[in-house]
Amino acid sequence: MYPSRFKYETPSTVEEAIGLLHDGGADAKILAGGQSLIPMMKLRFAAPGTIVDINNIPGLDYMRTESDGTFRVGALVRHVDLERATELKDSQPTIAAAAHLVADPIVRTRGTFVGSLCHADPQGDWASCMVALDGSVVAQGPKGRRTIGVDEFVKGPFTTVLAPDELAVEAVVPKAQGVRSGGYLKLERRIGDFATAGVAVAIERNGDVVSRAGIGLTGVGSRTINAEEAAAAVVGQPLTPDTIERAGDLAAAISDPRSDHRGSADYKRHIVATFVTRLLTSMQPTREQSTEERVA
Amino acid sequence: MTLDEVKIGGLGASRRRVEDNRFIRGKGNYVDDVVLPGMLHMEIVRSPLAHARIKKIDISGAYKIPGVRLVMTGEMMAARNLGWMPTLSYDTQAILATDKVRFQGQEVACVIADDPYIARDGCEAIVIEYEPLQPVVNPMQAVAPDAPLIRDDKVNQTDNIVFDWEVGDVIGTDQAFAEADVVSEIDMHYPRSHPSPIEACGSIADYDRSTSKLTVYMTTQAPHIIRAAVSLVAELPEHMIRIISPDLGGGFGNKVPVYPGYVMSILASILLEQPVKWIEDKSGNLISTGFGRDVYLKGQMALRNDGKILGVRMHTDSDHGAFFADAQPSKFKIGLMHSAFACYDIPNAHLTARGYYTNKAPGGVAYRCSFRVTEAMFFQERMVQAAADDLGMDQAEFRRKNFVRDDDFPHRTPFGFLTDSGQYEKCLDVGLEAIGYDDFLKQKEEAAARGRLLGIGISTMTEPLGAGNSREYDILGIKMFDSAELRVHMTGKAILRTGAKTQGQGHETTWAQIVAHELGIPAEDVVVEEGDTDTAPFGMGTYASRSTPVAGAAVSMVSRKIRAKSRKIAAHLLEVSEEDIDWELGRFYVRSAPDRGVTIQECAMAAYSNVPDGMEPGLENNAYYDPPNLTWPFACYIATVEVDPLTGVWDVLRVVAVDDCGVRINPMIVEGQIMGGLTEAYAMANMQFITFDADGNCVGGNYMDYLLPTAWETPGFELHEVVTPCPHHPIGAKGIGECATVGGPAAFVNAVIDALKGTGVRNIDMPLLPDRVYEAVTQHHDVSGAPPVKTD
């Protein structure tokens, strides 16, 4: 790897990192997992003047569920940490389903959850999950902290609303209002391939009635797509084949994919509809589940 | 006491690979590991456009960067008569573009600097103005009325056609079609793929003015051919050129041609009188070096209602890119495409082939295959399935009915090859039994009733491996034989050198096993060395599965020469006449008194200390082996799949492989070759291709788009064997390195097409991407994969 010349900084506190970002201006880039930044530097698509490596900052590798159910992921939590956190299967089923589908095992060992959100690749799996979960990013800058909803955080392809001197320190998934189910499906030709299409679904139910739903779409537009109307189609009633099909159709309709060597735009829309349908169908509570939950 | 051959690492021993000792410790010595004093670094500027006139190249910016030593452009090369070089197929190829660029990724300039970072900075500082021209990305566009002339550099070239070629019997074949009850047809594109060795190409040229000697460390599968080519292109005397091919990180055909980067590094070293290292990056390798395939295949089969094949017509349109740089025997313009249908008893066949120039990278190399045999066998096995379906016959039964019989060897194929041996029906039976053919057909029917799509695909084939003989096979006039040189030291240890060049095949392990088999010297006592033209005997290198059939045979033959001399020494030591001596593994003994004997090691010691009067001392020899024929291994691959009709995704359920490669020298290595080949076959069928958009941009020039399968998605393989020794090879071995890559793809494609049986779908072009399969399932028509890829 022969990148252009750059300055390499290793701050040991968040404040120091922000100072370095401030000094470096738009030419400074944060290195967390480096799984996207370093390949881009190798190809010289990116030539940052300063690399601010945050890996030596203690206290950013936490992942915890608060007592109220809020889930927080620090800036240095690797994909593999989420993949191995078996307890997330129940509390964060969308994230648990996506964790083993992110990139490949090598990338997952090093790449970070928050870094993936900041990279804002329309092919990113985590942004779709966070959109489905109504998650947010906590950014810290010279003037303090602010919390930004992921849908607003992602501005477009590879761009976010982060200021050049802001560091995304944490991602937050709000607590569930009901019984949470979720899932993630991705069509890829090979592990680590960019998704032909990916779908994240998260729903919350009170009894059989869906109280909240979110659907995020991967790789079918110039940014992560929040399929709000599709999600709304299943809210306020039990999941039925009709509502599920309608959600699939609406998600396909809001998709804006390109035809390329991974498939035609029509095919990708069809995959979105199919995956939304498959995910929601798998989330229909069985009779036993409904009874159990009612008793509980 | 007779030696146990397997215990001394002879034939049939699954001996661990000797070379792995250094590879698994990270102690391999690849070109990039070689560091010479005063070494400079070269990097190449490549064209971003597929077809464009070069208006201006401004190199002044590069020279402003401290540490940049030399910038070379096509103009400079041309001034030294090095603007163009000959290809392996008697065409010419630009070293650095002069007039125009003819494919995306073509070499336009290069920078030599103190370190590789500066070399890249220098490349970025070069400003090139292009005037875009209309690109041509497939043969149909190449012959369109408004097609631009790609090779306007060639004096007599007025169109984009490289060659027209034919072979076979046109009259007999027409007659067969006139008599046919049924004519079956197929129309396919075998997509461009890339050998994609893990190590890309590279070289270190070291010209020493004081000795006039040029030493080049180079990633090459054929160092001696390179020495000859460099001598001719650079006009340097051959004895002053030393090519060293150190450890290679894979080749698969990619490292046979001469690439511009090699030549540039050599010229730069001559000009600067310092060593110059060029290490290609992976993208450069994928977009500019020898690809495989990219052929349109149109076939017709004349059939009798009872299932007998009467004749075959084949037509190929091959896309060679901007320069005809295929690495193949001179005589055969479309390689050994006419080896198709060799395992079937077909009286008549005719093949026509047309080659085209396009604005794509040159070099239709034999990617893990014996000169287009992969396309030939794919053509054959897809055609056979279509024919069986058209006749309403079971696909296994149809093959069985048309196979060449075991007692019909040697068999002359309709295109004139002479196949040597085989037990085709037995291999098929072993395969069908292993997969549980009848049970699967029942299972398939039951699944269909529940809306599930299961399919089974068979691919059976024999292929020609091990070129020469030298009468018919040459590259640039150099005949295709090979060589071995064996020196037995006085303590009975030995060094063996051959003209082949291992690149993962395990020659260091298996050649020693052949010596052990012939001489009884334990394999561990034989060191094998290849790849240095100053020390190795002349040979044509390793590709086209030719090592074991040719160089391996030479190893046998040279060992036998050593044995013959040792016999004379043994007679001398035992004080009997040579006629009274018999040989058992590792030992000569007196026939009438078997207890009286001498070991091969004792003979070796005597060769240096006690030779009979009149005999030259020493125990070394060489052998040049010109094979009487190619070797003809047989394979039966069977895959079962399930297709998801809602997404077009297909999963492999099982893969059974039955290989008959004759005598197996090292069964473990043979099995490794088969598993590797099946993995590549699965990749080509499922995910892997290099395509181009309408502007001529290469789609697949990086490992995010060009997919190599990982252990994660690669299916498991169940291996079986049948052994039919090759009748003309000294130890009965046949080539095996490529069988699975060659025969495998059709098994997977046939399985998916079988799952779609009844929908009217005859073909989906590889790779069978989910969107293509989905289109076929829902639209009930064939799906073409020909470039340009549709984008928006």
In a domain, A2, yes or no: no
Same domain, A206 and A256: yes
Q: B20-27+482-625 with B420-462+632-792: one CATH topology?
A: yes
Same domain, A217 and A263: yes
Contact B292, B582 (CB under 8 A): no
Is any Cβ of chain B less than 8 angstroms from the Cβ of A45?
no
Same domain, A73 and A154: yes
Q: Using beta carbons and an 8 Å cutoff, which residues of B are at the interface with A?
A: 116-117, 119-121, 124, 283, 646-649, 686-687, 689, 691, 699-700, 704-705, 707-710, 712-713, 767, 769-771, 774-775, 789-792
**What is the third-level CATH fold of B20-27+482-625?**
Aldehyde Oxidoreductase; domain 4 (3.30.365)
CA B360 to chain CA centroid, nearest Å: 20
Same domain, A183 and A248: yes
Domain limit, last residue, from A173, A193, A224:
A173
A288, pLDDT greater than 90:
no
Same domain, A189 and A265: yes
Over residues A166-192, the mean pLDDT reads 95
Contact between chains at A271 and B713 (C-beta distance less than 8 A): no
Of B648, B689, B789, the CB nearest to A260: B789
Separation between Cα atoms, residue B555 and residue B495, nearest integer Å = 11
Of A5, A189, A258, the CB nearest to B769: A189
Same domain, A153 and A103: yes
Number of domains in chain A: 3
Of B647, B686, B767, the CB nearest to A271: B647
CA distance A154 to chain B (A): 23
CA distance A144 to chain B (A): 38
Separation between Cα atoms, residue A197 and residue B647, nearest integer Å = 11
In a domain, A103, yes or no: yes
Over residues A133-157, the mean pLDDT reads 97
Ordered DSSP codes for B331-362: T-TTTTGGGTTTTB--SEEEEEEEEE--SS--
For residue B749, how many C-alpha atoms fall within 13 Å in the half-sphere facing its CB? 36
Chain A partners within 8 Å of B769 (Cβ): 189, 262-263
For residue B352, the one-letter residue type is: T
A294, pLDDT greater than 70:
no
Chain B partners within 8 Å of A189 (Cβ): 686-687, 707, 767, 769-770
Contact A18, A142 (CB under 8 A): yes
Report residue B352 as tokens.
């026509």
Same domain, A128 and A45: no
Separation between Cα atoms, residue B150 and residue B136, nearest integer Å = 8
Paired with B93 in beta bridges are B85
Q: Tokens 């052994």 — which residue?
A: B723
Name the catalytic one among B93, B221, B380, B688.
Answer: B221
Contact B390, B303 (CB under 8 A): yes
> How many residue contacts between A and B have a Cβ separation below 8 Å?
73
> Of B355, B361, B367, which Cα lies nearest the Cα of B256?
B367
Mean per-residue pLDDT pooled into runs of 10, chain B (792 residues):
90 97 96 98 98 98 98 95 91 96 98 98 98 98 98 96 97 98 98 96 97 97 92 88 97 94 96 98 95 97 98 98 92 94 97 98 90 97 98 98 97 96 98 98 97 98 91 86 97 97 96 98 98 96 93 98 98 97 98 97 98 97 96 98 97 98 98 98 96 95 92 96 98 96 98 96 97 97 95 84
Same domain, A67 and A81: yes
Q: Compare all CA atoms of chain A with the CA of B788 and give the residue at the minimum distance.
A: A261
CA distance A233 to chain B (A): 22
Instruction: Read off the DSSP letter of residue B550.
Output: I
Is any Cβ of chain B less than 8 angstroms from the Cβ of A110?
no
> Of B739, B763, B727, B583, which Cα lies nearest the Cα of B674?
B739
CA A71 to chain CA centroid, nearest Å: 14
Kindly list the domain boundaries of chain B, sorted by start residue: 20-27+482-625, 420-462+632-792
A290, pLDDT greater than 80:
no
Is any Cβ of chain B less than 8 angstroms from the Cβ of A106?
no
Is any Cβ of chain B less than 8 angstroms from the Cβ of A190?
yes
Q: What is the predicted pLDDT for the residue at A293?
A: 64
Name the catalytic one among B369, B636, B726, B739.
Answer: B369
Name the catalytic one among B17, B368, B382, B587.
Answer: B368
Strand pairing class (A144-149; A136-141):
antiparallel
Work out the mean pLDDT of chain B and round it to a whole number: 96
Domain limit, last residue, from A173, A201, A224:
A173
Contact B183, B177 (CB under 8 A): yes
Q: What is the predicted pLDDT for the residue at B471?
A: 85
Same domain, A186 and A141: no
Chain B partners within 8 Å of A255 (Cβ): none
Instruction: Read off the DSSP letter of residue A151.
Output: H
Same domain, A161 and A218: no
Same domain, A81 and A102: yes
Separation between Cα atoms, residue A159 and residue B131, nearest integer Å = 33
Contact between chains at A264 and B705 (C-beta distance less than 8 A): no
Task: Verify whether residue B726 is a known catalytic residue.
Answer: no
pLDDT, tens digit (0-9, with 9 covering 90-100), for B616-666: 999 999 999 999 999 999 999 999 999 999 999 999 999 999 999 999 999
Q: What is the predicted pLDDT for the residue at B1?
A: 59
CA distance B283 to chain A (A): 9
> Of B38, B531, B34, B534, which Cα lies nearest the Cα of B268?
B38
Contact between chains at B775 and A261 (C-beta distance less than 8 A): no
CATH of B420-462+632-792, one of 3.90.1170.30, 3.90.1150.10, 3.30.365.10, 3.40.50.2300: 3.30.365.10
Work out the mean pLDDT of chain A and round it to a whole number: 95
Of B120, B712, B791, the CB nearest to A2: B120
Q: Return the CATH number at A259.
A: 3.30.390.50
Task: Verify whether residue B487 is a known catalytic residue.
Answer: no
Q: What is the predicted pLDDT for the residue at A118?
A: 98
Of A4, A196, A260, the CB nearest to B791: A260
pLDDT, tens digit (0-9, with 9 covering 90-100), for A196-241: 999 999 999 999 999 999 999 999 999 999 999 999 999 999 999 9
Task: Verify whether residue B369 is a known catalytic residue.
Answer: yes
Of B119, B710, B767, the CB nearest to A104: B710
Paired with A18 in beta bridges are none
CA distance A292 to chain B (A): 32
Domain limit, last residue, from A133, A151, A173:
A173
Contact between chains at B707 and A190 (C-beta distance less than 8 A): yes
Cβ within 8 Å of residue B755, ≥6 positions away: B453, B454, B455, B641, B642, B643, B650
Contact between chains at A2 and B792 (C-beta distance less than 8 A): no
Q: What is the predicted pLDDT for the residue at A291?
A: 67
- Structural domain harbouring A107: 63-173
Same domain, A169 and A222: no
Is any Cβ of chain B less than 8 angstroms from the Cβ of A5?
yes
For residue B396, how many C-alpha atoms fall within 13 Å in the half-sphere facing its CB? 21
Contact B371, B630 (CB under 8 A): no
